[in-house]
Amino acid sequence: MQSSPFIIPTRLKIEYINLLLKAGFHTVEMGSMASPKFVPQVADTVDVIKNLDLTDSKSKLMVLVLNTRGAEILSGLEQVDCISYPYSISPVFLKKNLNATQEKSFEDVRAILEICRQTRKEAVIYLSMTFGNPYGDEWSMEILKEHIGKLADAGAKVIPLSNVSVLIDKKMVRDVFTEVRKTFPDIEFGLHLHTDGKNQGAMVDAALDTGITRFDSVLHGLGGCPMTGGKMLGNLDTSYLLHHLEQKKINANIDEQIFKRASIMATKVFMSSE
């Protein structure tokens, strides 16, 4: 939604997200608490949350925040199960994405973790540029593990890893997840893959081979991070992911009929300004 060239009507967002909530996904991230001035596409996030139909939904509802103020607002909304935050091992990316230093961003992480602990919400701390760095920042497996260690010590338990704007290969995915899962066996890692649409299956397989079962995806592979300062890569396509898992005889427990309806509606929501 944040990279949509037009403002999606609130009623369409509610209808679309309600479908996703009934499809059987583990978690549905439905919006973010970004500044309406800079990201008007998500200015209605709280209104959407308050009008969702959570009846009979087994999915966790997740919302992205960019600062502690957003987390404080969400802490008072019982509909929200998870609060996510985009931390990074890259100081340059944090400046571009959050206009924050690494020190300030980590302070926000600690505060958000505490807010989640007090309000019994799950914190999902995304860690970007974990498979390399396009900005010239120093990158190594030891630097990556150092940051994961800091997050773990602060109380983070769910840490999806993301490449954001770096095209990666299956060896990098396998090497990173093998190392971090060995070093931090109590952390739930996931793959938040940004891609140009090529070799998605190879990346998924590499993660699966190391024991990863948490994958972020978007219908039709739309979106991406608009604050990279470079070419924006799309997201892992949900339809592709489900088909790929089916071929591997892995049951994702998704309601096919509801998912088809959501897929059709995604075209209406994201590809038309009407």
Distance of alpha carbon 75 from alpha carbon 98, whole angstroms: 21
Q: What is the pTM of this model?
A: 0.92
Kindly state the percentage of the chain with pLDDT values over 70: 95
Distance of alpha carbon 70 from alpha carbon 154, whole angstroms: 19
Ordered by where they begin, the domains of the chain are: 10-271 (3.20.20.70)
Tokens found for residue 28 = 């549905």
Query: Residues 209-246: pLDDT tens digits?
Result: 999 999 999 998 876 565 544 455 688 999 999 999 99
Query: Residues 78-110: pLDDT tens digits?
Result: 999 999 999 999 988 888 878 899 999 999 999
Question: What is the average pLDDT across 115-134?
Answer: 93
Kindly state the percentage of the chain with pLDDT values over 90: 72
Question: What is the average pLDDT across 161-189?
Answer: 92
Q: What count of other Cβ atoms lies within 10 Å of the Cβ of residue 273? A: 9
